[in-house]
Amino acid sequence: LNSLRVKLGERSYDIISGNRIFAEFGNLCRAMKLGERVMIITNPTIGRFYLGTLKESLVNHGYKVVDLEIPDGEEYKNLATLKLIYDALVDARLDRSSFLVALGGGVVGDITGFAAATYLRGLSYVQVPTTLLAQVDSSVGGKTGINHEKGKNLIGAFYQPKMVLIDVSTLDTLPEREYISGLAEVVKYGIVCDTGYFHFLDENVDNLLKRDKSCLETIINRSCELKASVVSRDEREAGLRAILNFGHTIGHAIESLTEYKKYLHGEAVAIGMAQAAKISEKLGYSSGDDTRKIVSLLEKLGLPVDLPRFDMELYLKAINHDKKVKDGGIIFVLNNGIGAFSLEKITDLDSLLKTCRIGG
The catalytic residue positions are 121, 143, 185, 227, 237, 241, 245, 248, 252, 265
Considering beta carbons, is residue 153 or 336 the nearer one to a copy of itself? 153
- Shortest gap between Cβ of 323 and a copy of itself (angstroms)? 5
Closest CA to 279 of 226, 325, 341: 341
- C-alpha span between 28 and 99 (Å, rounded): 14
**Phi, psi torsion values for 333, nearest 5 degrees:** -95, 125
- C-alpha span between 97 and 162 (Å, rounded): 13
If 0-12 CB within 10 Å is exposed, 13-18 middle and 19+ buried, where does residue 328 land?
exposed
Considering beta carbons, is residue 37 or 211 the nearer one to a copy of itself? 37
- C-alpha span between 300 and 173 (Å, rounded): 22
- C-alpha span between 194 and 207 (Å, rounded): 20
Query: Would you tell me which residues interact with a copy of itself (CB under 8 A)?
Result: 35-36, 79, 83, 86-87, 90, 93, 95-97, 114, 117-122, 143, 145, 148, 150-151, 153-158, 236-237, 320-321, 323, 325-327
Considering beta carbons, is residue 203 or 327 the nearer one to a copy of itself? 327
- Shortest gap between Cβ of 269 and a copy of itself (angstroms)? 19
CA distances from 180 to 134, 165, 200, 316 (A): 13, 21, 17, 28
- Shortest gap between Cβ of 62 and a copy of itself (angstroms)? 13
- Shortest gap between Cβ of 326 and a copy of itself (angstroms)? 6
Closest CA to 356 of 282, 288, 293: 282
Considering beta carbons, is residue 62 or 360 the nearer one to a copy of itself? 62
